Structure 1
């Protein structure tokens, strides 16, 4: 009954408030009224049922492992599920939509977790409950009620042409320039780039195979510029390290500048690009933004969205749409052409 009252209040205020004010009202209501009235649902804390819940978590992780989810992803799922259970102090089967809205509100209002981060964490929880439903361990997914809330969406901008030129001109080593061109050209995830070896590149064909999420294989491509700087970088490396072209094939594609030239890790790439962004005067420089930029550029140049989806290795078209920012002038030109 209380939940219905709160929903009615929020719905009544929708015409009067913007999205930020509406979210604030929603969070405050569910924080302040959580557990105030117990009529049709119990809000008392129950025993956590650790053995049973832990068994369910292990089963869920095993199912994700079976479809080749990365260890880092599994740790994120585990951390969020246990964080939620520890916070609410309830057994899984007793957790309601009200509980999760309360959890969501506390995370946002008192711990100041970003909305985008909270959305990701709720996605982990929803995936967990969907698994429990499939295995007939619970009857419903309480996260679905949280998902009905209207959350403010922020558009993550790709690099502009000016940003890209500033980054290119600020590169101080061949490696850095080759990495910038490579990330933009291929649209690979940073973890995919860090895992590549020299032998994975078919330089003459300007192609490579990467293994994305779930070990799914996909083909991607080098631009002429990416091929040029990558080849120069590898030639200089080969001479510097005194190895033959055949021996180079077994080495990491990108390595540290300092000897003994170990594989450049994900953290290493992120660190290098942050420094490059500072020198170039470009804000928010990180590897994933190159992926967003090439996707947007391909779409604006006329590549069908279905092909952009395959290029990025996305399972769902909706994910691709989130990545791509269609330029206003492109919409205007299409309107004049088709209207």
Structure 2
């Protein structure tokens, strides 16, 4: 009896109920290796089952390329590791599969089934960048309610969060905005992106309304008698709000809202992109 396990974004893989299911099929290098393990190493049944599952992944990878596992070269195995890394497996699980593959090819070399060992010193990275997290629309709504909008700082912070979420701007772009960059009647702003290239960014109605409110009352209150070339200024007035300053405020509001401690401006940017795709 064979069970199926589905990995995200991949077809179902038949996983043997135990290593004994694979033993006795003549000519299969994986079966030969599992038989050798069962006979010579006295491994626990669960360990043998784990080896079998890991090697099924390798077998599927080879089959997709119309190759036998004893015909894979180093480049193929490196592609296999990348495939594992993109499949949703945890780093520890990928490292386990790679260790199993190294043992498998050592066996094939000793058994004369390969002329050289393509898995020699094959390694999986200890870690790799995870996909950015994102907030649900409900989480964003809760976060937006945290600034105290009866104060000038609160209106500024609500405007910043609204604008970051509505536009997907980088924080460096956001805090570098100048009044002449805003074209609120037309519903867009301009900013200098990477490579000093100016780009036009549409702004949603809610963010425009908060920008108008901030510019009409909160910004003048923060500035007092001073002037500033920047849209967003700190509580001392006249000094541009920094990326670090905004990051600290965002962490404060996340804590108040009971949201994850690792909330960052990048998470809000990714939430913007994710929710845009969901519309």
TM-score (norm 2): 0.54
Q: Structure 1 residues 162 and 5, CA, compared in 2 at 3 Å: closer, same or farther?
A: closer
Q: 1:238 aligns with which of 200, 216, 220?
A: 220
Match of 1:266 in 2: 243
Q: 2:275 aligns with which of 293, 297, 319?
A: 297
Q: 1:177 aligns with which of 146, 158, 165?
A: 158
**Distance in 2 (alpha carbons) for counterparts of 1:182 and 1:280:** 19
Name the SS of the counterpart of 2:186 in structure 1: coil
**Distance in 2 (alpha carbons) for counterparts of 1:190 and 1:252:** 14
Is 1:197 the equivalent of 2:173?
Answer: no
**Distance in 2 (alpha carbons) for counterparts of 1:168 and 1:270:** 15
Q: Structure 1 residues 185 and 6, CA, compared in 2 at 3 Å: closer, same or farther?
A: closer
Q: Structure 1 residues 6 and 274, CA, compared in 2 at 3 Å: closer, same or farther?
A: same
- Give unmatched runs, 5+ long, in structure 1: 31-97, 109-113, 117-153, 302-339
Name the SS of the counterpart of 1:210 in structure 2: strand
| CA displacement, residues 226-256 of structure 1 (integer Å, 9 cap, x when unaligned) | 111111112222255346xxx96x5212121
Q: 1:19 aligns with which of 89, 92, 96?
A: 89
Q: How far does residue 262 in structure 1 lie from its aligned partner after superposition?
A: 1.4
Q: 1:115 aligns with which of 128, 153, 157?
A: 128
Is 1:161 the equivalent of 2:233?
Answer: no
Q: Structure 1 residues 197 and 225, CA, compared in 2 at 3 Å: closer, same or farther?
A: same
Larger Rg: 1 or 2?
Answer: 2
Structure 1 stretch displaced more, 270-279 or 154-163: 154-163
* Residues 82-161 of structure 1: pairs in structure 2 closer than 5 A: 105=125, 108=126, 114-116=127-129, 154-161=130-137
Match of 1:82 in 2: none
Is 1:224 the equivalent of 2:205?
Answer: yes
Number of residue pairs the alignment of both structures matches = 182
Name the SS of the counterpart of 1:256 in structure 2: coil
Q: How far does residue 263 in structure 1 lie from its aligned partner after superposition?
A: 0.9
Q: How far does residue 170 in structure 1 lie from its aligned partner after superposition?
A: 0.9
Q: How far does residue 298 in structure 1 lie from its aligned partner after superposition?
A: 2.0
CA RMSD of aligned residues (A): 3.9
Q: Structure 1 residues 24 and 162, CA, compared in 2 at 3 Å: closer, same or farther?
A: same
Match of 1:282 in 2: 259
Name the SS of the counterpart of 1:162 in structure 2: helix
Q: How far does residue 198 in structure 1 lie from its aligned partner after superposition?
A: 2.0
- Looking at secondary structure, tell me which structure has more helix per residue: 1
**Distance in 1 (alpha carbons) for counterparts of 2:75 and 2:202:** 52
Structure 1 runs of 4+ with >4 Å offset: 3-12, 27-30
- Give unmatched runs, 5+ long, in structure 2: 1-71, 103-119, 149-153
> Contact (CA 8 Å) 2:137, 2:275: kept in 1 or not?
no
Match of 1:121 in 2: none
**Distance in 2 (alpha carbons) for counterparts of 1:282 and 1:24:** 33
**Distance in 2 (alpha carbons) for counterparts of 1:240 and 1:10:** 56
